[in-house]
Amino acid sequence: MEHAVELREVRRTYGKGDAAVHALRGVDLALPRQSFTAVMGPSGSGKSTFLQCAAGLDRPTSGAVLLGGQDITGLGENQLTRLRRSRVGFVFQSFNLLPSLTVQQNVLLPQRLAGRRPDRARAAAVLASVGLEGHGRRRPGQLSGGQQQRVAIARALVTEPEVVFADEPTGALDTGTARDVLGLLRRAVDAMGATVVMVTHDPVAASYADRVLFLADGALAGQLTSPDPTAIADRMVALTARGGSLGAAA
């Protein structure tokens, strides 16, 4: 079966010789289409490196990344840029909206960058699907944090990408607003057919996913399917104790 994302023996080493840091030490995984995956692990375990390699933002030192069945490892810079604009979506902790553009213009930005004709009806429909009907003419600064993250999700979904990558999407939101945003990501998968990969350190956030992957020291260290927050938290405590580091897994 063709997967939305596949990693084969992916390694990513920063630096050389004695100074080399092995951020990913041979990660193998395959994520089905229309699935919601959470990625957790202690600080420094390789979560951000994983997301960047899987999304075509960074190149593995060795191994292969496949997106929609296509090996993207050998693509040139221009091809990778095009891929990032049309075939993957991104949601960041800090929203990353352009403050001088309207909500609608922000949502249409990926289409513009991909050289497509901006489809206002499509933007309006996606905004309605994230509960922001009628907000298209406002500026991001006129919206709450939760609403801004909804705009960012609409922007990530507008090109119907093969995968949406989210790095701590609820990290800047209060608990109630975070739940709304997680419910929205869940619905994007169930009702809109999206595939979502989300890095988080919050066990409740991770429990919205179909599957939680745990990273430790650059390698997969287990997974939970249909996870509940308590089981996730227990696993995180065990991993953090094993790694000997204390504190939040950022």
Ligand X SMILES: Nc1ncnc2c1ncn2[C@@H]1O[C@H](COP(=O)(O)OP(=O)(O)O)[C@@H](O)[C@H]1O
Q: Which is nearer to ligand X, 15 or 134 (by Cβ)? A: 15
Joined tokens for residue 84: 């990032």
Q: Strand 219-225: give its sheet, edge to edge.
A: 88-92, 163-167, 196-199, 36-40, 211-216, 219-225
Q: Which is nearer to ligand X, 185 or 249 (by Cβ)? A: 249
14 binding partner (options Mg ion, ligand X, none; Cβ < 5 to 8 Å by kind): ligand X
CB of 133 to Mg ion, least distance (A): 34
Residues present in the chain in total: 250
CB of 183 to Mg ion, least distance (A): 24
CB of 43 to Mg ion, least distance (A): 7
**Binding of residue 103 to ligand X (CB under 6 A):** no
Q: How many whole angstroms separate alpha carbon 145 and alpha carbon 158?
A: 20
41 binding partner (options Mg ion, ligand X, none; Cβ < 5 to 8 Å by kind): ligand X
21 binding partner (options ligand X, Mg ion, none; Cβ < 5 to 8 Å by kind): ligand X
* Radius of gyration of the CA atoms of the chain, in A: 18
CB of 60 to ligand X, least distance (A): 13
Joined tokens for residue 227: 């996870």
237 binding partner (options Mg ion, ligand X, none; Cβ < 5 to 8 Å by kind): none
Report the Cα–Cα distance between both ends of the chain, in Å, rounded.
33
Q: Which is nearer to Mg ion, 47 or 84 (by Cβ)? A: 47
236 binding partner (options Mg ion, ligand X, none; Cβ < 5 to 8 Å by kind): none
For 33, which DSSP code? Answer: T
CB of 179 to ligand X, least distance (A): 24
Q: Which helix (H) or strand (E) holds 250?
A: none
Which residues, 2 to 61, sit near ligand X by CB under 6 A?
Answer: 14-15, 21, 23, 41, 43-49
Helices (H), the chain: 47-54, 77-86, 103-113, 120-129, 145-157, 175-192, 203-206, 229-243
**Binding region for ligand X (CB under 6 A):** 14-15, 21, 23, 41, 43-49, 250
